[in-house]
Amino acid sequence: MVIKSQAVRLYPNVRMKNVLDALCDYRRYCWNLGLETWNAMYDAYTIYKDENPKPTEREVRDELVRLKADWQYQLSSRVLQLAISDLGVAWSNFLNKALPDWGKPKFKSKRAARQGFKTDRAKLVDGQLRLDRPREIPKEGWSDIRVKGLRWMNGEVNLASIYRENGRYYANLSMECEEDDPLESTGKDTAVDVNVGHINYTEGMINTCPKKLTNLYQRIKHQQRLLARKREVNGKLATKSHNYVKTRAKLQRDYKKVANIQKNLMHQFTKQLVTEYDRLVIEDLDVKRMKMSHIASKGLHRSMFGLFRRQLTYKSLWYGKQVILADRLYPSTQRCSNCGHIKTGEDKITLSGNKKYGTKHNEYICYECGYTNDRDANAVLNLLALL
pLDDT, residue 275, reads: 93
Alpha-carbon distance 266 to 215, whole Å?
A: 19
> Strand pairing partners for 11?
146
Higher pLDDT, 290 or 239: 239
159 neighbors 120 (Cβ within 8 angstroms): yes
pLDDT at 191 over 70: yes
pLDDT at 136 over 90: no
Mean pLDDT: which of 258-262, 282-286, 349-353 is highest?
A: 258-262
Alpha-carbon distance 152 to 6, whole Å?
A: 9
Per-chain mean pLDDT for the chain? 89
How is residue 74 annotated by DSSP?
Answer: G
pLDDT, residue 217, reads: 94
Q: Where are the domains of the chain?
A: 2-177, 189-326
Higher pLDDT, 298 or 257: 257
pLDDT tens readout for residues 73-113: 999 999 999 999 999 999 999 999 888 888 999 999 999 98
The 3-class secondary structure across 194-257, one letter per residue, is EECCEEEECCEEEECCCHHHHHHHHHHHHHHHHHHHHHHHHHHHHHHCHHHHHHHHHHHHHHHH
| Burial degree of 352 (CB within 10 A; 0-12, 13-18, 19+) | exposed
> Strand pairing partners for 184?
none
Model pTM? 0.82
pLDDT average, residue stretch 56-60: 94
pLDDT band at residue 153 under the 50/70/90 scheme: low
280 neighbors 189 (Cβ within 8 angstroms): yes
- State the helix-helix crossing angle for 77-95 and 14-47, rounded to 10 degrees: 40
pLDDT band at residue 296 under the 50/70/90 scheme: low
pLDDT tens readout for residues 282-295: 998 877 777 666 66
